[in-house]
């Protein structure tokens, strides 16, 4: 597995180097050496920017990004909040993204009210299903569930994205003890 990952990185590096060299060599051959030099530097900088954005993805994650992901789940924050933690991990075929926010008691109460007033809300002790274990993970229907555990109020979304594409599985937890919201995006 490590050899495969190393091979992917090597191919990506060689591809970037080849494109950068072509951006220099082609204009030079037709008599535009200075333009080729400028073009190759721009292409090289673009590849460095792409690599930097991938490497520093967690550090570049902002409060605006968090709000956007929450709005996609019909959760909004009216008051200011603090981004406490953000972490994403990926491996071939898997992607995990988790962040934690410190929210105000007012937003916490409002979101808990939204979750508990959902039609199919399940209180502690009532059976919930593991949405990730659905038999038709790729072409089935969009599913939501809202429930309460000993420690959290939870809303989950599981949405198939078609054959060959990882389904969207998002979990939002509101802590009962603290003014925190945890968002998880899991692509398996």
pTM: 0.72
Give how far Cα 48 sits from Cα of 12, 15, 167, Å: 12, 13, 30
Q: Structural domain boundaries of the chain?
A: 2-55, 60-187
pLDDT of residue 7: 78
pLDDT of residue 54: 64
pLDDT of residue 37: 86
Q: How high is the mean pLDDT in each 10-residue block of the chain (188 residues)?
A: 72 84 87 86 83 66 90 92 89 82 96 92 78 69 88 91 82 96 88
pLDDT of residue 56: 64
pLDDT of residue 24: 83
């Amino acid at each position: 597995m490590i050899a495969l990952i190393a091979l992917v990185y090597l191919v990506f590096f060689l591809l970037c180097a080849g494109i950068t060299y072509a951006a220099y060599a082609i204009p030079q051959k037709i008599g535009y050496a200075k333009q080729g030099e400028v073009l190759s530097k721009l292409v090289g900088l673009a590849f460095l920017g792409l690599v930097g954005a991938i490497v520093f993805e967690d550090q570049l994650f902002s409060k605006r990004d968090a709000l956007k992901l929450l709005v996609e789940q019909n959760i909004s924050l009216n008051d200011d909040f603090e981004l406490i933690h953000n972490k994403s991990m990926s491996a071939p075929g898997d992607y995990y993204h988790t962040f934690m926010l410190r929210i105000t008691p007012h937003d916490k109460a409002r979101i808990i009210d939204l979750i508990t007033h959902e039609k199919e809300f399940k209180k502690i002790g009532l059976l919930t299903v593991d949405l990730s274990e659905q038999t038709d993970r790729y072409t089935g229907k969009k599913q939501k569930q809202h429930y309460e555990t000993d420690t959290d109020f939870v809303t989950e979304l599981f949405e198939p994205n078609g054959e060959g594409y990882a389904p969207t599985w998002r979990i939002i937890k509101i802590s009962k003890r603290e003014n925190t919201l945890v968002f998880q995006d899991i692509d398996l």
